[in-house]
Structure 1
Amino acid sequence: MSAVRVLVVDDDPLVRAGLTAILSTEPDLTVVGEAGDGAEVLPLVRRLRPDVVLMDVRMPAIDGIQATRYLLDRVAEPPRVLVVTTFDNDDTVYEALRAGASGFLLKRARPDEIAQAVRTVARGDSLLYPTAIRRLAARAPDTGTGDALRSARLTDREAEVLRALTRGGSNAEIAADLHVGAETVKAHVASLLAKLGVRDRTQAVIAAYESGFVRPGAD
């Protein structure tokens, strides 16, 4: 199996160097490039073809939110985006997730957590922190992006799976809770993503909050 290719994007050269050093010690991860601003991301992605972009949210010229939107709009098969931030209550994190990022990571995370986060999004899973997402969703304006969920006609089991996704459950965890096989859960996830017209679990969770399907203040 080939190594996961990573592009590290941060306007602080020390942070870039630190993230690159951490990831370079992992035999299954390869840093293929670095960028100091979101403006550099699109050309580098087209040239280097990374699997994951480790993206700072706050940058001076083009921030991580705009850069994520550009990738999804202008690259046929865009890499997964994992945004990095200093604080988990940063409103820009929620905007980055709405823009299409697969999850977020705190800069103070341990080296093993950073490496595992890259692996998680590389295999197509989302990296969410349910408590932080609930808190951010509670402050987010109603943009109407949850309308698709209200008209999606999810089955009862798909609705159960979506609620479990908002709690951060993996396929295996959801399968254990619902007493079904992991492949069954995978099929339900694929079905609800198609019905909602979203690309991944993160976007489904955001739609669940913004539609009122789940309440941000709920435990």
Structure 2
Amino acid sequence: MNKIKVLLVEDDPFWIKHIVYDLNQEVDIVVASTACTKEEAVDAALHADIDVVLMDVELNPNQRDGLYATQEITTRTDCKVIMMTSYQERSIIMDAFDMGAVNYVTKEHYSDIVDAIRAAHAGHSSIHGCCADVLLVEWRLRCLSRSEREVYDLKEQGFKSHQIASMLHKSLDTVKSQIKSIGRKRTKTLSD
């Protein structure tokens, strides 16, 4: 049986130890290589025989370099990249998929990683539930104009209409009109 060869990209010794041990217990999966930096990850993906990469988002504090490693790996190899991280922010999840990740599993849902590896290797589209809601919301918002999206994002951050108008240098009536338009478009998308 050919095992699924995994590259683990992680900088935390605790997670490295546990993930390597757990994955190597599977009959069809082996951790073929580990990396702690973006450079090591790209080099291993390019030169080792790797099928699936488990990638942490942050390999250096506050740098999100795992996202850039993902982009480089997915554009230069056939490896499937699964993000495995503690981050649950919408923007990071969307960036991960934009950079080429095929799935995103938070460490809170670590027990699901084996199934995610098998699905990625088989070429199945299996989006983990921890990020599915984010993707669904983003899909529903695709019909908004750039200007409406700016207003929507600020509204989601808790700003009031008059604050948004001031921040975007728009009239209050324009912002209120855009908020109504956003509501109509989201309702239409839900009913389609």
What TM-score do you get using the length of structure 1 for normalisation?
A: 0.58
The structure-2 alpha-carbon separation of the partners of 1:5 and 1:66, relative to structure 1 and needing over 3 Å to count, comes to same
| Higher mean C-alpha deviation, range 125-134 or range 113-122 | 125-134
Residue 149 (structure 2) aligns with: none
Q: 8 Å contact 2:70–2:100 — kept in the other structure?
A: yes
- Deviation, 1:132, is 2.8
The structure-2 alpha-carbon separation of the partners of 1:43 and 1:110, relative to structure 1 and needing over 3 Å to count, comes to closer
Residue 32 (structure 2) aligns with: 32
- Deviation, 1:79, is 0.4
SS at 1:50 equivalent: coil
CA distance in 2, matches of 1:20, 1:8: 8
SS at 1:57 equivalent: coil
CA distance in 2, matches of 1:65, 1:71: 10
Q: 8 Å contact 1:102–1:125 — kept in the other structure?
A: no
Deviation per residue, 1:51-109 (Å, 9 max, x gap): 0000001222671211111112333xx20000012143342121011111101111022
SS at 1:126 equivalent: coil
- Deviation, 1:114, is 1.4
Q: 8 Å contact 1:2–1:28 — kept in the other structure?
A: yes
Higher helix share goes to which structure? 2
| CA root-mean-square deviation | 2.9
Q: Which runs of 5+ in 1 are unaligned?
A: 145-213
What TM-score do you get using the length of structure 2 for normalisation?
A: 0.66
User: Percent identity of the aligned residues?
Assistant: 25
Residue 67 (structure 1) aligns with: 69
Residues 1:3 and 2:3 are matched in the alignment: yes
Q: Which protein has greater RCO, CA pairs closer than 8 Å, 6+ apart?
A: 1
Deviation per residue, 1:133-166 (Å, 9 max, x gap): 23456789x899xxxxxxxxxxxxxxxxxxxxxx
CA distance in 2, matches of 1:137, 1:38: 30
SS at 1:33 equivalent: strand
Aligned length: 146
Residue 124 (structure 2) aligns with: 125
